[in-house]
Amino acid sequence: AQSVTQLGSHVSVSEGALVLLRCNYSSSVPPYLFWYVQYPNQGLQLLLKYTTGATLVKGINGFEAEFKKSETSFHLTKPSAHMSDAAEYFCAVKLGGAQKLVFGQGTRLTINP
């Protein structure tokens, strides 16, 4: 069963426009949720994470995400896209107390000048 679903394998926005990358999870218990970014030929870098507490999480590079339990979602947003945001973004969860990350299929973000 797919634990994490990222809607849209490719998203293209104009520079300065809102970035919205969608992530839904399936879990009967509150998961730990993460967004990672992968720049070309590099490893994964953590953007932000939700563990407990405040449902709106702020991360690096101006990104934020909101945990919505009722919608089982953890969408990633940024108010104004920069050219440097072009990369692949992965949503991931940790389920049931396990330490392993379960990743979505990734969303490639393209920024148009």
Establish if 99 lies at the interface with other proteins (CB under 8 A). yes
Establish if 25 lies at the interface with other proteins (CB under 8 A). no
Choosing from 25, 90, 109, 111, the residue that interacts with other proteins (CB under 8 A) is 90
**Both structure tokens of 38:** 């992968």
Choosing from 1, 28, 42, 83, the residue that interacts with other proteins (CB under 8 A) is 42
Number of Cβ within a 10 Å radius of residue 53? 7
Establish if 70 lies at the interface with other proteins (CB under 8 A). no
Choosing from 27, 44, 59, 64, the residue that interacts with other proteins (CB under 8 A) is 44
Rg of the chain in Å (alpha carbons): 13
The dihedral region occupied by 82, where left means phi > 0, alpha psi between -120 and 50, and beta the remainder, is beta
CA distance 42 to 63: 19
Given the rule CB under 8 A, which residues bind other proteins? 32, 36, 41-46, 49, 51, 90, 92, 94, 97-106
